[in-house]
Amino acid sequence: MYRVYLVDDDTLILEELINTVPWLDNGFEVVGHQTDPRRAVEEIKDLWPDVVFCDLKMPGMDGNELIRDVKEAGIGAECVMLSAYDSFESARAFFRQSGFDYILKPVDADDMEILLERLNSRLSANRSAGTKSELSDNPAFNELIGYVNGHFAEKLTLGSLSERFGLSRNYICGLFQKHFNQSLSLYLTELRMAYARELLESEPTMLLKEVSRCSGYPDYHYFFKVFKSYYGISPREMQEKRA
């Protein structure tokens, strides 16, 4: 489970981020939040989160200054800037400080989901880990993995899997991190993307909306976003290469 800290001077926005973003489903937990950026820096130094989400425009200290102080303290957290201002200069200053991504408010749910998957992938790659094992000493978890592998095109959530296999949501998250070094969400995305690519390469005349549906994405527009973020090209471009 990766630890997240949130900073925004707007209490309502903080509450929305805490309560509506599917943190747990993507392998994250919010360990702290603050509206005062200077107090946030001190709390971040104590908590050492894996990711810091912070607002750009805040009284007393802006987001770029906060990230600079965090980095100078030796904290290697990934940083995501939240802003209602689409400012090139601010974004450039942010990425000069090795920022991970820059997302505009109000935050789009699909964009946030993709961002969390990318963050989980980055953190998993950075975290030193031993050899991954596809099986655990827990028969229920092994059965769960077999079910996920065979039903990835269906709507699967931590809640539904927890109920079906009698394992808590947190326990499932911990097992995915232990054995696959990634979240359930990222595990599903990899299965779905691999299957979508297989369909595009083997069935060049298949309708893209059908590829999307068969791969577990009833919403084609969301499928398009995820696919392009994952492979760097659109589904149509990949299909045309194989036609």
The 10s digit of each residue's pLDDT in 167-197 is 999 999 988 988 888 899 999 999 999 999 9
The whole model's pTM is what? 0.65
- How big is the chain by its Cα radius of gyration, in Å? 19
Q: Residues 125-177: pLDDT tens digits?
A: 666 433 334 456 778 888 898 889 889 999 999 999 999 999 999 999 988 98
Inter-residue contact 61 to 2 (CB < 8 Å): no
Report the chain's mean pLDDT, rounded to a whole number: 86
| Per-position DSSP letters for 133-173, written without gaps between them | -S--S-HHHHHHHHHHHHSTTS---HHHHHHHHT--HHHHH
Nearest one of 172, 195, 198, 199 to 185, comparing CA atoms: 172
Alpha-carbon 206 to chain mean position: 29
Q: Residues 44-75: pLDDT tens digits?
A: 989 989 999 999 889 999 888 998 888 888 78
